[in-house]
Chains A and B, each alone.
Chain A
Amino acid sequence: MVPRGERHHLINLFGYRVSWAQLAWFGHRASGLGVLFYLFMHIVETSTVLFGPEVYNAAVGIFKNLPARLGEVVLMAALVYHALNGLRVMAMDFWPRLTEYYRPLTYGVIGATVVAMVPLALIMLRPFAPWG
């Protein structure tokens, strides 16, 4: 049984049992860098149009399969999470009193991301699904 007051520190990161809010921060950084990486890749992909329609179509074709689509679902999750968590951080900046509710707010952001991703993932994966 987890002792009282310890329930919010289940994860040991670099030898310190961090708060969920620190994990939220870590996720914010990771999702931000992930989206940035995708943007670079996207620029490279679209710039292949300079070499003619065949090269462009071949480049775009690389992403028309199930593994790439799963990657796009992860990308969408990163975007949704980054946006919602950013709103949480900004809201605390405007109203410091909100920091007293950082636990429910952090859980809320994670929960809302999961809830939003269920229909989004279904829509995104439909072309590859047996029922699609």
Chain B
Amino acid sequence: MDVQLRIRRYNPEADDEPHWEEYTVPAEPNDRVLDLLHHVKWYQDGTLTFRRSCAHGVCGSDAMLINGRNRLACEYLVKDAGPQITVEAIRGMAVLKDLLVDMEPFWESYRQVKPFLVNDEIPVDGKERRQSPADRDRFEDTSRCILCAACTTACPVFWADQSYVGPAAIVNAHRFIVDSRDTAKEERLQIMADPDGVWRCRTTFNCVEACPRDIKITRAILEVTAEIGKAGLR
């Protein structure tokens, strides 16, 4: 079968505005949208620019706005997408070229929440910090984030104002805030309690719908707000 692929192209060196271009691409039902993009780049127009790495839904490089929703191009199959597919860059980020966006503000928000275990104390047995299975389960869900930015760039609050820290950063803060071994909980909660932190969530659930890992993002966000309340912060 042939698929009509519409791609929102933008070359800052040649174009004033982004524009749509159409390509007819041969495809099998089980092909992924990423395969179509490869076909265009390899056989039709080598200037098409996009980001991808593992191509198997693990690295999170190829989040794109496909058929009106954020998804990973490497996970979305032609048989689900249909014969007409539109692809554009994720929103709220500066487009560098075609489907490639500047991820730096996203990483900046991520770094802000200190996404690493903070604990300078010597473990009780001198070797390892033990944790009950129940305590481990508290961050099982949020530890699965692959930082693809599909959630943050699906959020209407983020579209309107990129100073919002965004769902992805909150998910990664949650992962350590509820970790019983971590000692920087209060510091992280302070960051989350900032006016640009968790309070800006409007529970629209676009993030939950966009997440390729099915992380319960809004639940994590509301659990962080509950922790802020318990800690007596505002």
Contacts and interface: CB of A to CB of B under 8 A. Distances in A.
* Same assembly: yes
Contacts of B154: 16
Given A8-B209, A12-B68, A18 B219 contact: no
Interface in B40-65: 65
A99 interface: yes
Contacts of A15: 68
A19 B222 contact: no
Interface stretch (A43-51, A60-68, A89-97): A89-97
Contact of B203 (A5, A12, A16, A25): A25
A58 interface: no
B206 A19 contact: yes
A19 B68 contact: no
A22 interface: yes
B219 A19 contact: no
Question: Which of B68, B225, B226 has the most CB atoms of chain A within a 10 A radius of its CB?
Answer: B68
A9 B154 CA distance: 13
A92 B223 CA distance: 10
A16 B222 contact: no
Contacts of A22: 156, 204-206
**Interface residues of B toward A: which range?**
20 to 34
Which residue, B67, B80, B222, has most C-beta atoms of chain A within 10 A?
Answer: B222
Contact of B216 (A6, A16, A93, A100): A100
B9 interface: no
Contact of B218 (A8, A17, A18, A99): A99
A99 B206 contact: no
Given A93-B225, A96-B222, A19 B80 contact: no
Interface of B: 65, 67-69, 80-82, 91, 154, 156, 202-206, 208-209, 216, 218-220, 222-223, 225-226
11 contacts: A3-B81, A16-B154, A17-B68, A19-B204, A21-B205, A21-B206, A89-B203, A93-B222, A96-B219, A99-B205, A99-B208
